[in-house]
């Protein structure tokens, strides 16, 4: 267990905030955040009493339920039964023990042992030390394509403070290689980590020529603690738990016979399964009658990375299509889909790009540009629709927020009640279809989390109407200036 993870858990179990702890200790909250995010260990040079101060903070501010959770989850003696002084000493001693173990491991380079082709790394190592071992193996590869299988753990390999998979991607990119990642996930486990799981799915659809992720559902009820990463003909990395001390380690192995057994065994287990998200062309979607099924559903949920029509009165719609010269090519506009109940989340960048530049997606085609006059009419229609129909909701979210950050090439996601697909407008002919009904339900929950972001990260309701009204006033001034 890392010092930062422990401190994070203790704050979480007691309902206390890092800002409260920073104020108590006299530190800037950003410094405390670096501890919690495992970016830095506390310096003891100028404060040898630090852990006792932290202990007093929890004793003074936590309630009995919080102490019971700390005791149960972290394996401490029943704190609620101890005196004030005993609670403080127990917490201080516990934090001191974890701190010293992590510090000693780091001073030893994080390597607990090396035997031939196997290297055992302490759980306390920093990411760079793990990557050093991975680089040693990758540098010996001659193939131009690496196949990686990740078993049961999107969470740790995409977590900011570890980022192992992200760093492997950089190494592959630097070496001019192609990477295919097969991600086997336990859906039950991932439901408990909705944000991180859905982020990983979104980023997996940001396909490039050198990187592809295929996700498959697997069941790990008998081996729920096994976490593994296997690179074909290269290395295997597995997380192990010491049954006596509960200490955790990374075993990195270059034993080819073991790597091949694991790699082909795991690959074969998904050979006949559909991926959770499948890359597919628009033409192939059409052959499946997917869009027909999608359009005739209700309760649409969209997460947009480019501006769409969203809503337009028929005369505005006709004018836009006529301006673009696509009037006769888009009969699907006339089936009444604008009247459906719909909740849209859109990043701020694309809506600003529409206001200033006129960039918009028209019914799955390339991004088009709309004239200022038609932008004014279109935004006016959206405002009127928001005011008159409660089933139409629009939430504008900050590009950087706690749930999902905007990135170039990120796909827009379209969810019906029983369908889901995504399109990245950098490669317009490529779409991604959600093959798992359970995944669709999870993404509808994820959409709700984006929709309900704190006010500092999202505009909704009257704030959206005011924002669009101000945008119309700006466009009118711009139009007048250009005349």
Q: Residue 232's pLDDT is what?
A: 73
Q: Residue 133's pLDDT is what?
A: 62
229 and 357 co-located in one domain: no
H-run or E-run covering 227: strand 227-231
Q: Which two tokens stand for residue 151?
A: 């078993």
Tens digits of residue pLDDT in 358-404: 999 876 556 789 999 999 999 999 999 999 999 999 999 999 998 99
Last residue of a domain, one of 107, 128, 146: 107
What mean pLDDT value characterizes the chain? 77
69 and 84 co-located in one domain: yes
Write out the residue range of the structural domain in which residue 353 sits. 279-482
Tens digits of residue pLDDT in 16-37: 988 999 998 888 888 888 888 7
Contact assessment for residue 184 and residue 216, using Cβ atoms and an 8 Å cutoff = yes
Which one, of 365, 297, 298, lies nearest residue 330 by Cα? 365
* Residue 156 confidence (pLDDT) above 50: no
Alpha helices in 343-405 (DSSP H): 348-357, 372-388
Beta strand 178-185 pairing with 211-217: parallel
Region at 227 (left for phi over 0; alpha for psi -120 to 50; beta for the rest): beta
Provide, rounded to the nearest whole percent, the portion of the chain with pLDDT above 90.
23
What SS3 class is residue 238? strand
Better pLDDT: 40 or 331: 40
The most confident of 5-9, 144-148, 337-341, 413-417, by mean pLDDT: 413-417
289 and 362 co-located in one domain: yes
- Domain containing residue 178: CATH number: 3.30.870.10
Sign, CA dihedral 165-168-174-179, equals negative
Provide, rounded to the nearest whole percent, the portion of the chain with pLDDT above 70.
70
336 and 358 co-located in one domain: yes
Q: What angle do CA 244, 134, 123 make, to 5 degrees?
A: 25
* Number of folded domains that form the chain: 3
451 and 395 co-located in one domain: yes
| pTM as predicted | 0.65
406 and 462 co-located in one domain: yes
Better pLDDT: 82 or 213: 82
338 and 308 co-located in one domain: yes
Q: Residue 175's pLDDT is what?
A: 61
348: which residues sit within 8 A by CB, 6+ positions away? Answer: 396, 397, 398, 399
Which one, of 107, 77, 95, 85, lies nearest residue 25 by Cα? 95
Q: Residue 113's pLDDT is what?
A: 45
Last residue of a domain, one of 81, 107, 133: 107
303 and 345 co-located in one domain: yes
Measure the CA–CA gap between 51 and 10, rounded to whole angstroms: 13
289 and 245 co-located in one domain: no
Q: What is the rounded average pLDDT of the residues 31-44?
A: 81
- Domain containing residue 48: CATH number: 1.10.260
DSSP conformation class of 223: -
347 and 404 co-located in one domain: yes
**Is 141 buried (19+), middle (13-18) or exposed (0-12) by CB count in 10 A?**
middle
Last residue of a domain, one of 249, 275, 301: 275
What SS3 class is residue 367? strand
45 and 169 co-located in one domain: no
Contact assessment for residue 295 and residue 422, using Cβ atoms and an 8 Å cutoff = no
134 and 269 co-located in one domain: yes
């Amino acid at each position: 267990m890392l010092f930062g993870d422990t401190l994070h858990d203790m704050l979480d179990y007691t309902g206390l905030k890092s800002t409260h702890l920073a104020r108590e200790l006299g530190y800037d909250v950003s410094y405390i955040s670096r501890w919690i995010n495992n970016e830095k260990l506390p310096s003891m040079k100028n404060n040898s009493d630090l852990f006792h101060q932290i202990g007093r903070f929890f004793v003074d501010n936590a309630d009995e339920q919080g102490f019971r959770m700390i005791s149960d989850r972290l394996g401490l003696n029943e704190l609620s039964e101890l005196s004030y002084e005993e609670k403080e000493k127990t917490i201080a001693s516990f934090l001191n023990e974890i701190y010293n173990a992590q510090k000693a491991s780091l001073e030893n380079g994080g390597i607990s042992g090396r035997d031939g082709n196997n290297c055992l790394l302490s759980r306390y190592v920093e990411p760079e030390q793990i990557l050093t071992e991975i680089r040693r193996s990758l540098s010996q590869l001659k193939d131009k394509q690496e196949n990686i299988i990740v078993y049961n753990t999107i969470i740790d390999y995409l977590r900011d403070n570890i980022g192992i998979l992200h760093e492997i991607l950089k190494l592959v990119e630097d070496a001019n290689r192609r990477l295919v990642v097969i991600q086997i996930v336990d859906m039950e486990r991932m439901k408990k980590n909705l944000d991180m799981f859905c982020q990983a799915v979104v980023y997996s659809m940001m396909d490039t020529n050198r990187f592809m992720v295929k996700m498959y559902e697997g069941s790990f009820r008998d081996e729920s603690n096994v976490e593994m990463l296997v690179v074909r003909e290269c290395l295997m990395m597995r997380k192990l738990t010491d049954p006596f001390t509960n200490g955790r380690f990374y075993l990195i192995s270059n034993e080819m016979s073991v790597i091949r057994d694991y790699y082909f065994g795991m690959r074969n287990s998904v050979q006949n399964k559909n991926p959770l998200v499948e890359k597919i062309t628009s033409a192939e979607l059409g052959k499946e009658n997917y869009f027909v099924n999608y359009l005739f559903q209700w309760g649409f949920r969209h997460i947009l990375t480019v501006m769409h029509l969203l809503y337009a009165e028929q005369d505005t719609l006709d004018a836009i299509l006529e301006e673009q010269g696509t009037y006769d090519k888009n009969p699907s506009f006339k089936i009444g889909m604008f009247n459906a109940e719909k909740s849209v989340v859109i990043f701020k960048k694309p809506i600003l790009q529409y206001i200033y530049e006129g960039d918009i997606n028209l019914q799955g085609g390339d991004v088009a540009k709309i004239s200022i006059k038609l932008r004014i009419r279109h935004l006016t229609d959206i405002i009127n629709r928001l005011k008159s129909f409660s089933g139409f909701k629009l939430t504008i979210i900050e590009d950087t927020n706690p749930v999902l950050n905007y990135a170039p090439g990120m796909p827009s996601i379209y969810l019906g009640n029983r369908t889901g697909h995504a399109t990245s407008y950098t490669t317009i002919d490529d779409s991604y279809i959600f093959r798992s009904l359970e995944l669709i339900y999870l993404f509808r929950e994820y959409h709700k989390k984006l929709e309900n972001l704190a006010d500092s990260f999202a505009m909704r309701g009257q704030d959206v109407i005011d924002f669009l009204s101000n945008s119309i006033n700006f466009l009118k001034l711009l139009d007048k200036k250009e005349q």
